[in-house]
A and B are shown apart, each in its own frame.
Chain A
C-alpha cells in the first residue's frame, strides 16, 4: 500500500503542509521536511517552483520566484531528496505545474519520483480527463498517486468522475479562489463541505486553500479527513526563518 493510502486510514484528522522547495534558501528543503515530520505533520507537499503558477496567490508566487532565483531546478530537487527516505517516513507529494514536468519528460519524472520515494503528485493544470486518457497507467507503473482538485463550482457528475479516477485523496478547494486568499470560513463553505460529505465518495477529502490557523483547521476538518496548509506556512517561514517550523505547527493543532 502506498504511504498516502495507509496514512488516509489513520483514525485522527490529518494535517498536510505545503511548502515551496528551495525556499527561503535553496538548501532549506530537507531541513524543513525533517522539522515537519518531527512536529507530527501527517503528510508533506513539496512545491516544485514554476515561473507562471496560475492557481496560486501572491504568497506562493513570490516563494516560487524566490526559489527559482535561488537556483531550484527539477534535478536539484531530486538531488536534494536523494537520501530522504533514510529518515523521512511521512508521505511525500510533489505539487507542480505540468510544463516543467513535460520538459523533464513525464516518464523520466515519474521514474525519479519512484527512486526518490515520492508517493504522489498534484498537478493543478493537468486536467483529470487528460490524465485518465494519457498518463494514469504510466503513473501507476511507478507507484504514484495523482490527486485532483474540486471546487464549490465543480458539477456533481464531474466530482463522481474524479472520485472514480482518484486513488489517493481528493483535494477539496475551500472556495473559488487562488491559494492563500481567505482568512475565515462562513456558511457558504460549511454548506459546501456538508454537500460533498453527503455524496459519500470513495476517496477521502482533504480541504485546502484559506486554512491558516487552529480555527480554520477545525472548521475544515469537521466534515473532511484533513486539511492542507500552504500560504500561511510560507508566510511563517518568510517571517520567522526556516528553523521555526515547530512554532507554526503547534499553534494549528
Chain B
C-alpha cells in the first residue's frame, strides 16, 4: 500500500488523530463526520465556496517572487500571499467553508474559539455575511491583550465571551467552546480554527485550506515550469496555514517539507511553544497528538511572543509529519522572529504577522542551493501585531 500522509478513514495520521471525545459530543461530531465529505464534494457547494473565495476573500492570492530576498540568500524565494486575504490571513478560507457547511446542516448558531483573535474575526466575518448568530470564546487574558480584534468582532456583530477557567488563554477558550457545544448539541455548529480537535476537524480544515497549495501548483507551473517547489515552508502553531500549503505536496517525495515552530524564549527556557520537541503523546481537545504537559499529564501553558503560535498541542497531521520524519521541524526564538518582521518589511515592503515572520527566519538557519525553489506561506499580515512591534522596537 502506498504511504499517505493524509488522514485515514477514522481520522488517524499514523499514531495520531482520532476522536477522543466525551459521549455528549458524539452526536455532534458524528453528524459532521458523516456529512463533511459528501457536502464539500457537492458541485453546488463547491461552486458557492469557490465563488466566495474569489469575490469575497480575494482569491487566488498572488505567488510573489521575492527578488531582493532571493538575491541576498542566493536561492529562489516565493511567497504565497495569504496575508492579502480578506481579514488579513488564511483563516478565512476555513471559516467560509465551515459556514457553508453549517448552513447545509441547518445550524442557526455558530461558536468559535480564538487566541489572538484572527480566527474569531474570520468567524465573525462569515457569520455577518450569512446572517448567523456568532459567539466567540476568548481567554480573559487574551481579551485584554488583543483589544483591536475584540472590537472588530463586536463591530461584526459577534458576542465575545471571556473564558475564565484554567489559564484564561486559547486552550481554555477551546474548552469553553466545546462545553458550549455539549450544552447546545442540536442547533449549533462549532467552527474550529485550526487542524486540531477530534476527527473530522483536522482533515476538514486541511481540505478547506488546501486551496492554498492547489493555487501554488498552477502558479509555480507558470513561473517555474514545474508545479512543485523543492522546499515548502510554513509556521506551525495548531498548523492550519501549514496544512494548507503542504496539502497537495504531502505525498510528493520531491518536495521537502519544513515546519517552523515558536521557540519562545528558548527551547529550554520553560517559556516555549515548540510542541514537537517539548511535547509528548497525549490527548488534547479530542485528538491524540503531541502536546506540552507535566509528567502527570496536566496540560501546560506554552509561550510565544506571537499569540497565534502558543497552542500547547499541534495538529495530528503535523505530529505524524514529525514522528515519521516526513517533515523537518525547526524552532525559532522570539527575537529572530521579531527581527524578521523588520527584515521582510524593509526588504520586500511586506509587514508580516509575527507568526509568519517565524517561517522566514529559517533563511538564517539553513543553507539552500541557488536553483532551489522555496515556497513560503506568507500566512498573515502584521497589522494585528503593530502594538507588539511598537513595544519591541520602540517605534
| Interface residue ranges, A against B (CB under 8 Å) | 50-55, 57-58, 61-62, 65, 68, 73-75, 97-104, 124-128, 130, 148-151, 153-155, 158, 173, 176-178, 181
Contacts of B24 in A (CB 8 A): 55, 149, 151, 153, 173, 176-178
Residue of A nearest to B298 (CB): A51
Q: Which of B273-294 contact A (CB under 8 A)?
A: 280-286, 293
**What is the CA–CA distance of A98 and B198 in the complex, to the nearest angstrom?**
14
Interface status of B58 (Cβ within 8 A of chain A): no
Contact A124 B23 (CB under 8 A): yes
Contact B182 A103 (CB under 8 A): no
Instruction: Return 28 A-B CB contacts under 8 Å, by A number.
Output: A50-B298, A52-B284, A52-B285, A55-B24, A57-B179, A58-B165, A68-B298, A73-B296, A74-B297, A97-B283, A99-B282, A99-B284, A103-B293, A103-B296, A124-B22, A125-B286, A127-B23, A149-B23, A151-B27, A153-B186, A154-B23, A154-B26, A155-B27, A158-B26, A173-B24, A176-B183, A177-B182, A178-B183
B14, chain A: closest CB distance, angstroms = 16
**What is the CA–CA distance of A151 and B247 in the complex, to the nearest angstrom?**
37
Contacts of B300 in A (CB 8 A): 51
Q: Which of B16-75 contact A (CB under 8 A)?
A: 18-24, 26-27
Contacts of A99 in B (CB 8 A): 282-284, 293, 297, 299
Contacts of A73 in B (CB 8 A): 296
Contact A55 B22 (CB under 8 A): yes
Contact A151 B179 (CB under 8 A): no
A59, chain B: closest CB distance, angstroms = 11
Since A58-B165, A104-B297 are in contact, a sample of 16 more A-B pairs with Cβ atoms closer than 8 Å, ordered by chain A residue number, is: A52-B171, A52-B175, A54-B285, A54-B286, A61-B166, A62-B165, A99-B284, A99-B299, A100-B297, A102-B281, A102-B282, A104-B296, A126-B20, A130-B20, A151-B24, A153-B27
Contact A177 B171 (CB under 8 A): no
Contacts of A98 in B (CB 8 A): 20, 283
Which 8 pairs show the lowest CB-CB distances between chains A and B?
A103-B297, A100-B297, A149-B23, A153-B27, A55-B22, A51-B298, A124-B22, A99-B283
Residue of B nearest to A150 (CB): B23
Residue of B nearest to A54 (CB): B178
Interface status of B349 (Cβ within 8 A of chain A): no
A129, chain B: closest CB distance, angstroms = 9
Contacts of A65 in B (CB 8 A): 165-166
Interface status of B157 (Cβ within 8 A of chain A): no
B173, chain A: closest CB distance, angstroms = 12
Q: A103-B282, A127-B21, A130-B18 are in contact. Are A54 and B179 (CB under 8 A)?
A: yes
**What is the CA–CA distance of A124 and B286 in the complex, to the nearest angstrom?**
11
Contacts of B296 in A (CB 8 A): 73-75, 100, 103-104
**What is the CA–CA distance of A57 and B182 in the complex, to the nearest angstrom?**
11
A55, chain B: closest CB distance, angstroms = 4
Contacts of B281 in A (CB 8 A): 102
| Interface residue ranges, B against A (CB under 8 Å) | 18-24, 26-27, 165-166, 171-172, 175, 178-179, 182-186, 280-286, 293, 295-300
Contact A52 B299 (CB under 8 A): yes
Contacts of B299 in A (CB 8 A): 51-52, 99
Contact B283 A176 (CB under 8 A): no
Residue of B nearest to A101 (CB): B297
B162, chain A: closest CB distance, angstroms = 13
Contact B166 A52 (CB under 8 A): yes
B170, chain A: closest CB distance, angstroms = 12
A212, chain B: closest CB distance, angstroms = 17
Contacts of B184 in A (CB 8 A): 176
A108, chain B: closest CB distance, angstroms = 12
Contacts of B297 in A (CB 8 A): 50, 74, 99-104
Contact A102 B182 (CB under 8 A): no
Contacts of A103 in B (CB 8 A): 280, 282, 293, 295-297
Question: Could you say which of A97, A130, A148 contacts B23, with CB atoms under 8 Å apart?
Answer: A148
Contacts of A181 in B (CB 8 A): 183
Q: A100-B297, A102-B297, A178-B183 are in contact. Are A151 and B23 (CB under 8 A)?
A: yes
**What is the CA–CA distance of A7 and B356 in the complex, to the nearest angstrom?**
59
**What is the CA–CA distance of A57 and B178 in the complex, to the nearest angstrom?**
11
Contacts of A130 in B (CB 8 A): 18, 20
Contacts of B19 in A (CB 8 A): 127
Contacts of A153 in B (CB 8 A): 24, 26-27, 185-186
Contact A149 B185 (CB under 8 A): no
The residue among A57, A103, A173, A177 with the most chain B CB atoms within 10 A of its own CB is A103
Residue of A nearest to B29 (CB): A127
Residue of B nearest to A124 (CB): B22
A113, chain B: closest CB distance, angstroms = 16
Contacts of A97 in B (CB 8 A): 283
B202, chain A: closest CB distance, angstroms = 16
Contacts of B285 in A (CB 8 A): 52, 54
Contacts of B26 in A (CB 8 A): 127, 151, 153-154, 158
Contacts of A57 in B (CB 8 A): 179
Contacts of B27 in A (CB 8 A): 151, 153-155
**What is the CA–CA distance of A68 and B165 in the complex, to the nearest angstrom?**
14
Contacts of B179 in A (CB 8 A): 54-55, 57, 178
Contacts of A125 in B (CB 8 A): 20-22, 283, 286
A200, chain B: closest CB distance, angstroms = 21
Contact A177 B183 (CB under 8 A): yes
Contacts of B21 in A (CB 8 A): 54, 125, 127
Contacts of A100 in B (CB 8 A): 296-298
Contacts of B20 in A (CB 8 A): 98, 125-127, 130
Contact B165 A61 (CB under 8 A): yes
Contacts of B283 in A (CB 8 A): 97-99, 102, 125
B295, chain A: closest CB distance, angstroms = 7
